[in-house]
Structure 1
Amino acid sequence: MNTVVVPNLPAPSLDADKLARLTWELESLTAAQLYWIAAWSAAQAEQVQRGGVATPAPAGQPASRLTIVYGSQTGNAKRIAEQLASRGEAAGLPVRLLRADAYPQRELAQERHLLLVISTQGDGEPPDDARGLFEFISGKRAPKLPALQFAVLGLGDSSYPQFCTIGRQLDARLAELGGSRLASFGEADVEIEAVAAPWVEQALEQARERLRQAGAPARATPLHVVPSRSAWSREQPFAATVLANQRIVARDSARDVRHVELSLEGSGLHYQPGDALGVWPHNPSALVEQWLEALQLDGAQPVTHQQRALPLRQWLGREREITRLHRGFISALATAGGHDELARLLQPEQSAQFAAVLADEQPIDLLRRYPATWQPETLLATLRPLAPRLYSIASSTKAVGEEVHLTVAVVDYQAHGSTHWGAASSLLAATDEDSKLPVFIESNERFRLPADGSRDIIMIGPGTGVAPFRAFLQERRESGATGRNWLFFGNRHFASDFLYQVEWQQALQDGSLHRLDLAFSRDAEHKTYVQDRLHEHGAELHAWLKNGAHLYVCGDAKHMARDVHAALVDVIVAHGNQSPDEANAWLGELLQQGRYARDVY
């Protein structure tokens, strides 16, 4: 995780805006690149002091370098791209690594060797940091690229209908513009490494050969990324002690929402407001028993898979994903049981029905409805590995020290005649104080407070989407930020679902929260949501934005985030004298500048 630390030094010619822009650009660079810039800047400063003129940093010739660009919403694409860059540098290749929004689009016409790692979000959307580049490449202004050699790795989740569609579209578009592929399009599901590892090998081998043919100089000493100060990571999580686990909705609420506090003492883990905490879950034991009953398999039977032998019950409980449907499982179930109806669901013309099944069903529902005979080894090969769950952090270390707080909506409901659970949320709900949970920090560079504490911020977070804004408010209060803070919060009922009500009221009283607008959708005959409040207060909202406020949205990507974005467009049209296209373009500019940030899932 790269953290840009601004030294406390006098900088009379560097105003807040310049400092914010500089910090924004630096966040997309690796440690090796930051050290190079530091050395280059020092040399330039010395030259200026001697009466010379600072010279631009050499970008390198396009034909003799490998450019790696990533677009990432949750950090996976960034992680793979950084691994790819490190492997390339270790092989002696001249590599530059850029986040998609830091890539100079004008350079695409001259680019010669490009590797693109990009995720697909929600219902077939690019990650926020890649929206501009995606639109540019997809649009009419994209240049012809007859000299480009490229490869695209798409990341996605086949639990969603539009699996890897952004990567697929970019791969097809770059070829349409005249580029030639260094490697075939890579399509990685949640089990990213299974696809990413061979793709990286092939792409790097081809890039190495093409760069050698182009006469690129090999580096004798590759750059090395400085390791993080903490030894704990996604692959080696820290066992955090549970300090508190408190229900923060009323007993009669239809949902169970928990405030969970964990200790990071002694871990060396650090986070910033806007980051996420990864939690490695295990599946509810009751659900495992339901699977064994439906499959008529013996949970104590040892099963060997990927050179590991474990009892089937342990495979299902600790190692495999059994709460989320995905295309591969549905296809395998249709084949195993000869279910033509299920197979037809996977046809392109059935996309709406397929999406409805993914949204409404869990695998256990289909196992019961479409019986089949499974061999344990075949079953495990069909199921995806159990993946960590990411939760927006609801605290600031400036306020809580070596702790991390979460706001967790527990997935526990009745459907299709039985109880349905979520893997991580059920684990968190049942965790007692002093228990241990395996966790890690997932950096979210694009969801950061403004570097200039005098800037106003607008936070839109219905439901558990309010979590990072609790962290924002703590950080702004403790750091003495002078900018105003405006929160839009929504949920079902005021009396039972007003998360952190006492804290928000106290913040209004002490002046750390300047405005709070609420929307409780089930308290009146006419449902009211946060986007309705945006319309109601459009004039003032637009004035804040025009005066430089930063805007943040957190929560559901499928419905809320889209509705909020549409409401923002309406507000800009109504109060900014702009057309819908102009309003959308302005919001796009705010996204590029980091003044409009979204943490949606």
Structure 2
Amino acid sequence: MSALPRLPELLPAENAEALSRAVAGLEAPALWWLSGYAAGLAHARGGAHAALPAPGAAELPLAAEPQAESVPSQRLSIVYGSQTGNAKRAAEALAAEAEASGLAVRLFRADAYPLRELKDERLMSFVFSTQGEGDPSDDALGFFEFLDGRRAPQLPQLKYSVLALGDSSYAKFCEIGRRLDARLAALGASAVLPRAEADVDIDAVATPWRGELLGALRALQPSGLGPARATVTPLRRAATPKASREAPFVAELLANQRISGRDSEKDVRHVELDLAESGLHYEPGDALGVWAENPPALVEAVLAASRLDGEQVVSLKDRSLPLRDWLASQREITRSARGVLAALAERSGDAGLADSLAVPERTAALLGELPLVEALRRWPVEWDAQGLVEALKPMSPRLYSIASSRAEVGEEAHLTVDVLRYAVGEGIHVGAASSHIARRSPGGSLRVYVEPNERFRLPADGARDLIMIGAGTGIAPYRGFLQQRIAEGARGRHWLVFGAQRFASDFLYQAEWLKARKDGRLARIDLAFSRDQAQKVYVQQRLREEGRVLLDWVRGGAHLYVCGAIQMGKDVHAALVEVFSTHGGLSREDAEAELRALQQAGRYARDVY
């Protein structure tokens, strides 16, 4: 970044230097937010002018912070921890409604919240998601470390509320929200209302929770909630794109090509989509959300197993559709749901199933192993159409890491899709979205939107080195990374560590990576193909083997990226701890601490699913 312009009559030299260091490496959204923050301070201190961001400029979803004397009793700080964007959306919806009700609102991603201010807070709301088997989202790791640690302050003055997001197909449903609620209470804080827990149908819980919370907050204010005070700088929203999660863009399919070999056990597709006229923009590291429809054959199998008429109309939430349509596009039917198993236990009187549902780990195992149609066949009971629809989870979009850069492909987005197929019971079962994509031919279409991934971004400094660790389709974002860095003329080195089953059939985008290596665009490439020898080899073993070099790169300023399945991410993290400990002369605890520091600094990013 170039030096700040000199304003000797307004900005002393030492302040200019400090400011220059503070903003070094920040991207446009953060800089626009800072401009609003400064304007808010100027207004609160009586300045005559307030600089505003350029119209339509992208912004972080944060408010300029009001001064402590500005209606402190009505200031609500909202903190969210989000892995895939759901908690962020729920927190933004709460912020908008709270601000419209007259509250001064501050909205923070968990890793951006100023922890030193927690001791002075009076009113807070938390929206936290649970990842995998009871883990916090990556952006909430530092927040929980602080809250669970010895430095956490007592909070007798704090009134709080918690919206916990989770997936009931996992044993530790909403675990992070529960942990947060318990810890805040242990620190002396008092809940404004009981914790709310939302499954994948988030709005069914979040919408009434917001209304109840605002009612409770209104009761806390001596004169209720009225118009926002003029001394409070309001939240400013980024311009709404033409297409969104709620209103997806119908994108034409340009290509759908299998890129795994004939002998591969996997069917991996390279998919290209036309986003022209969509208003959608993405950065390398973002994901594309895809709304799918269930396989027609599976819809008929579910109807047969439940012995129901697909033409029977079911009305739910002011919407009436034939049962077949509910099953085709509105409900998850590739996997079982907790509600279905509970209904099967009750209607069948099966004591063994009821006992399993009383143990979260056994319930999660059933949900993970037993497709819906197999559950309906195993426990044949009498169903009614309304009861079946209500027991099933709503259909949710699937997120795929974008495997391209707009600097290379223009108004397109490329995906790398593993078409899920597995055998259980009487037949072969498939994944909803991946099979939906596989059935589409060029000229067809997909309903899509962009899901930003702010914590999986390229460094602003093109001289930084990148270590890109991935397995299977986890290679997708790195294709976009390399395309972007080449287009920008970045000087930093690139190191790919990639794993899959077999070199001959599963080395995805092999020709592109080998060309990049030959052209000097890829400084190193280390491969781990688990099935090419008697003893399986995985990427974490390559990291241990090259640990000395890896640590040298990191200590030299390299950014670490990990993309792949949740278990792979855990195995890689354990290997990194070992590398930092062995080659850095650190205890295990200090190695963990250094990795956490890298994560909080944005130099260790994970995209695991």
- Tell me if both proteins adopt one fold, taking TM over 0.5 as the criterion: yes
Matches within 5 A, 1:65-84: 65-84=75-94
Displacement of 1:138 after TM fit? 2.4
Structure 1 stretch displaced more, 320-329 or 183-192: 320-329
**Distance change in 2, residues 1:122/1:551 (3 Å):** same
Measure, in 2, the Cα distance between the counterparts of 1:451 and 1:459: 16
Contact 2:267 2:419 in 1 (8 A): yes
How far did 1:365 drift? 1.5
2:405 match: 396
The answer to whether the Cα contact below 8 Å between 2:580 and 2:591 also exists between their aligned partners in 1 is: yes
After TM superposition, the structure 1 = structure 2 runs for residues 338-417 of structure 1, keeping only pairs within 5 Å, are 338-348=349-359, 351-417=360-426
- Correspondence for 2:303 among 282, 292, 295: 292
Please list, as runs of the form range in 1=range in 2, the aligned pairs for 1:240-251 lying within 5 A after superposition.
240-251=251-262
1:194 aligns with 2:198: no
* One-letter amino acid of the structure 2 residue matched with residue 74 of structure 1: T
Distance 1:57 1:247, change over 3 A: closer
C-alpha deviation, 1:474, in angstroms: 0.5
Aligned counterpart for 1:129 among listed residues 134, 139, 142? 139
CA shift digits 1:144-202 (9 cap, x unpaired): 11111000000111121111010011111111211111121010111000000011112
1:192–1:175: structure 2 CA closer, same or farther, 3 Å change rule?
Answer: same
For residues 279 and 403 of structure 1, what CA distance do their matches in structure 2 show? Answer: 15
Partner of 1:182: 192
Q: Give the whole-Å Cα distance in 2 for the aligned partners of 1:35 and 1:13.
A: 17
Deviations 1:209-255 (A, max 9, x none): 32446999942698363452522100000000000000000111111
1:170 equivalent among 180, 185, 199: 180
Displacement of 1:127 in angstroms is 0.3
Is contact 2:101–2:225 with CA below 8 Å preserved after alignment? no
Amino-acid identity (%): 54
- Is 1:545 the counterpart of 2:554? The answer is yes
Shift of 1:359: 2.5
SS of 2:346's equivalent in the other structure is helix
1:456 and 2:465 aligned: yes
| Stretches of structure 1 lacking an aligned partner (at least 5 in a row) | 1-5, 48-55
Alignment correspondent of 1:281:
292
2:103–2:225: 8 Å Cα contact kept in structure 1?
Answer: no
Work out which of the residue numbers 330, 333, 345 in structure 2 matches 1:334: 345
Alpha-carbon spacing, 1:66–1:440, altered in 2? closer, same or farther (3 Å) = same
Contact 2:266 2:419 (8 Å CA) reproduced:
yes
Deviation at 1:372, TM superposition (A): 1.3
SS at match of 1:364: helix
In 1, Cα distance between equivalents of 2:116 and 2:314: 54
- Look up the match of 2:102: 92
- What is the aligned counterpart of 1:442 among 441, 451, 455? 451
Would the alpha carbon gap of residues 194 and 222 (structure 1) be closer, same or farther in structure 2, given more than 3 Å must change? Answer: farther
Partner of 1:3: none
Shift of the 346–566 alpha-carbon distance from structure 1 to 2, 3 Å rule, reads same
How many residue pairs get aligned? The number is 581
- Counterparts of 1:465 and 1:513 in 2: how far apart (Å)? 17
What is residue 50 of structure 2 aligned with on the other side?
A: none
- AA aligned opposite 2:394: P
Q: Deviations over 1:42-77 (max 9, x none)?
A: 889x99xxxxxxxx9754355441100000000111
The residue matched to 1:159 in structure 2 has which SS? coil
State whether structure 2 residue 513 is matched by structure 1 residue 504: yes
Question: 1:120, 1:155 within 8 Å by CA — same for their partners in 2?
Answer: yes
Which residue of structure 1 lines up, in the alignment, with residue 281 of structure 2?
270
Which residue is 1:430 aligned to? 439
CA-to-aligned-CA distance 1:248-284 (integer Å, 9 cap, x gap) = 0011111100000000001111000011100000100
Is the 1:248–1:500 contact (alpha carbons within 8 Å) kept by the matching residues of 2? yes
Find 2:218's aligned residue among 205, 208, 216.
208
How large is the Cα RMSD of the aligned pairs? 2.6
Q: Which letter maps to 1:279?
A: V
* C-alpha distance in structure 1 between counterparts of 2:2 and 2:350, whole Å: 64
Determine if contact 1:488/1:516 at 8 Å carries over to the other structure: yes
Q: What 5-or-longer segments of structure 2 have no aligned partner?
A: 7-15, 48-63
Matched, 1:26 2:30: yes
CA contact (8 A) 1:20 1:451 kept: no
Relative to structure 1, the CA distance from residue 114 to residue 216 in structure 2 (aligned partners, 3 Å threshold; closer, same or farther) is farther
Deviations 1:532-565 (A, max 9, x none): 00000000000111111111111101x1011000
Q: Is the 8 A contact 1:256 1:410 kept in 2?
A: yes
CA gap of 1:42–1:400, structure 2 versus 1, over 3 A, is farther
Cα distance in structure 2, aligned partners of 1:17 and 1:530: 37
Q: 2:180, 2:187 → 1: CA distance?
A: 10
Partner of 2:37: 37
Structure 1 residue 300: Cα displacement: 1.9
Helix, strand or coil at the partner of 1:345: helix
- Kindly state the Cα deviation for residue 13 of structure 1 after the two structures are TM-superposed: 4.9
Query: Greater shift after overlay, 175-184 or 300-309?
Result: 300-309
> Aligned partners of 2:5, 2:416: CA distance in 1, in Å?
39
Give how far 1:17 is off: 6.8
Is the CA contact 2:41–2:67 (under 8 Å) kept in the aligned structure 1?
no
What's the CA shift for 1:25? 8.9
Is residue 16–residue 452 contact of structure 1 (8 Å, CA) maintained in 2? no
Higher mean C-alpha deviation, range 80-89 or range 238-247: 80-89
* 1:585 alignment partner AA: A
Deviation by residue 1:560-585 (Cα, 9 ceiling, x = unmatched): 01100000000000111100000001
Matches within 5 A, 1:109-128: 109-128=119-138
Residue 301 (structure 1) aligned with residue 305 (structure 2): no
Deviations 1:336-378, CA, capped at 9 Å, x for gaps: 2222211111223xx4433332332211121111111111001
Q: In the TM superposition, what is the alpha-carbon distance from 1:20 to its structure 2 partner?
A: 5.0
Are 1:93 and 1:208, in contact at CA under 8 Å, matched by a contact in 2? no
| TM-fit CA distance, 1:207 | 2.3
The equivalent position to 1:524 in structure 2, one of 529, 533, 537, is 533
Output the TM-score relative to the length of structure 1: 0.91
Does residue 1:591 correspond to 2:576, yes or no?
A: no
Give 1:40 deviation, angstroms: 4.8
Q: Structure 2 vs 1, CA of residues 157 and 140 (structure 1 numbering), >3 Å: closer, same or farther? A: same
CA contact (8 A) 1:20 1:452 kept: no
- Distance in 2, matches of 1:474 and 1:331, equals 49
Equivalent residues in 2 for 1:5-20, closer than 5 Å = 13=17, 18-20=22-24
Give the TM-score normalised by structure 2: 0.90
1:600 aligns with 2:608: yes
